[in-house]
């Protein structure tokens, strides 16, 4: 009799972010077939996404094709598609609107999260968040367009509204956005004739009593001082009650602005709710200590989709945590295949870093706390080190060096729809309503 070859276990990984990609690479030498499904074709280094949104880096500097990363991994297949449905009983996932399915023996769910508007999803059109390259393109378009519209503004009030940037959320993304805008605006100062870009107004609205709440109190105060020195107006205990195309409301107070960025709150991918497991208010799956779904040991959830504690503390939704969860899920999967016991996930916090602006940053490594120049250069080094791909490391280093010595920004392309959110001008507006500009016809 001819022996029938045994089918190898099929591991499906949904999401090519930090957790998903780490899990896939760790299964390189395993006797399994791996299929990684992502709605895009690239891995994104999300911690530097705000620099794409503010014209410091190009999108290609912080992305790398997933296929390229896994090109030498013979047991891995990469598919670009949007997972719409998970059937944990049939052990299948449905991909794209066409409805083609993949069956799995083991599933690692690492689909990430989106920004949350706390039930006010209609605000997203006016106040976009920052989670993807598409988001960064849109924020960059609005950011650069604000200066162009201010240059054409007919009144001082309109000009000031265009030069007012409101950021909602005082976490790392909000603080880093608020800190980089004054520096970037200063780099534009010689390029415009009718506005002073150094006089931009940046308002940071935080609903709680602190910015960067995950950091020690001393470093929070240092970050607050840095923001104030950059002329950022930090408003604590300020909950946004309404968002309009030309204003943000805090209670009954109206803040005129044409550019609003959202950096408050996260909502996990809706795929987690399809597993039949309990989820928290943010939609994260309440996983077992080994990162598996309760009652379904063949399904693991990692990254921003997992609500997990380590040593009695909630694990933060940061890139190092996602990396570590992806590694633990893969190792527990391998342990099961070998008939060995699984190990609980333990988060190893290697430190927290946040940059506020040029030469301004904070770093916390347990009892060791740094600020200023040293923390800033450490932040640069760590982010270069953790970028995926040698080309990206070199490209980012070159861009940062160029910006550091020339005070210029090299990626100032405005693309996308020409209609600007909040704009009151129309193509048919007669030139006579505009102030005289040399060469205007």
* Largest CA-CA distance found in the chain, in angstroms, rounded: 92
Phi and psi angles of residue 83, each rounded to the nearest 5 degrees, phi first: -75, 120
Q: How far is CA 423 from CA 12, 58, 81, 112, 254, in A?
A: 46, 26, 36, 33, 18
Which of 138, 158, 176, 222 is catalytic? The answer is: 176
Q: Residue 350: exposed, middle, or buried by beta-carbon count in 10 A (0-12, 13-18, 19+)?
A: exposed
Find, among 305, 323, 330, 343, the residue nearest to 386 by Cα: 323
Catalytic residue status for 176? yes
SS3 per residue for the chain: CCCCCCCCCEEEEECCCHHHHHHHHHCCCCCCEEEEEECCCEEECHHHHHHHHCCCCCHHHCEEEHHHHCCCCCCEEEEECCEEEEECCCCEEEECCCCEEEECCEEEECCCEEECCCCCHHHHHCCCCCCCHHHHHHHHHHHHHHHHHHHHCCCHHHHHHHCEEEEECCCHHHHHHHHHHHHHHHHCCCCCCCCCHHHCEEEEECCCCCCCCCCCHHHHHHHHHHHHHCCEEEECCCCEEEEECCEEEECCEEEECCEEEECCCEEECHHHHHHCCCECCCCCEECCCCCEECCEEEEEECHHHEECEECCEECCCCHHHHHHHHHHHHHHHHHHHCCCCCCCCCCCCCCEEEEEECCEEEEEECCEEEECHHHHHHHHHHHHHHCCCHHHHHHHHHHHHHHHHHCCCCCCCCCCCCCCCCCCCCCCCCHHHCCCCCCCC
Q: How far is CA 332 from CA 26, 42, 91, 395, in A?
A: 11, 26, 19, 36
Catalytic residues: 176
């Amino acid at each position: 009799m001819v022996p029938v070859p045994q089918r190898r276990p099929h591991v499906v990984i949904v999401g090519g972010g930090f957790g998903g990609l780490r899990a896939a690479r760790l299964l390189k030498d395993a006797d399994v077939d791996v299929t990684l499904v992502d709605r895009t074709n690239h891995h994104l280094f999300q911690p530097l996404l705000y620099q794409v949104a503010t014209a410091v880096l190009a999108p290609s500097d912080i992305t790398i094709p997933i296929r390229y990363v896994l090109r030498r991994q013979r047991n891995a297949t990469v598919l670009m598609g949007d997972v719409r449905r998970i059937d944990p009983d049939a052990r299948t996932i449905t991909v794209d609107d066409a409805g083609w399915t993949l069956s799995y023996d083991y599933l690692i769910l690492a689909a990430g999260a989106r920004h949350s508007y706390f039930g006010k999803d209609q605000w997203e059109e006016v106040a976009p968040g920052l989670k993807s390259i598409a988001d960064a393109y849109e924020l960059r378009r609005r950011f650069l367009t604000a200066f162009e519209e201010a240059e054409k503004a007919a009144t001082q009030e309109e000009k000031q509204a265009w030069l007012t940037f409101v950021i909602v959320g005082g976490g790392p993304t909000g603080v880093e956005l608020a800190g980089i805008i004054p520096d970037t605006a200063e780099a534009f100062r010689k390029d415009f004739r009718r506005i002073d870009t150094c006089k931009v107004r940046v308002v940071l609205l935080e609903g709680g009593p602190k910015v960067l709440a995950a950091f020690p109190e001393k470093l929070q105060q240092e970050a607050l001082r840095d923001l104030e020195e950059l002329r950022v107006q930090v408003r604590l205990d300020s909950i946004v009650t309404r968002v309009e195309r030309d204003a943000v409301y805090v209670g009954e107070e109206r803040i005129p602005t044409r550019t609003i960025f959202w950096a408050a709150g996260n909502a996990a991918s809706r795929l987690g709710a399809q597993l039949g497991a309990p989820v928290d208010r943010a939609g994260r799956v309440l996983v077992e200590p080994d990162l598996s779904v309760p009652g379904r040991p063949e399904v693991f959830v990692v990254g921003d989709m997992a609500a997990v504690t380590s040593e009695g503390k909630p694990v933060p939704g940061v890139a190092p945590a996602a990396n570590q969860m992806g590694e633990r899920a893969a190792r527990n999967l391998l342990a099961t295949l070998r008939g060995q016991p699984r190990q609980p996930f333990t988060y190893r916090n290697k430190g927290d870093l946040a940059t506020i602006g040029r030469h301004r940053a904070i770093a916390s490594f347990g009892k060791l706390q740094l600020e200023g120049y040293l923390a800033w250069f450490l932040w640069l080094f760590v982010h270069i080190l953790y970028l995926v791909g040698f080309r990206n490391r070199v490209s980012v280093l070159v861009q940062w060096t160029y910006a550091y010595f020339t005070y210029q920004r090299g990626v100032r392309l405005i693309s996308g729809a020409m209609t600007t959110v909040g704009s009151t001008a129309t193509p048919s507006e007669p030139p006579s309503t505009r102030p005289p500009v040399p060469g205007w016809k």
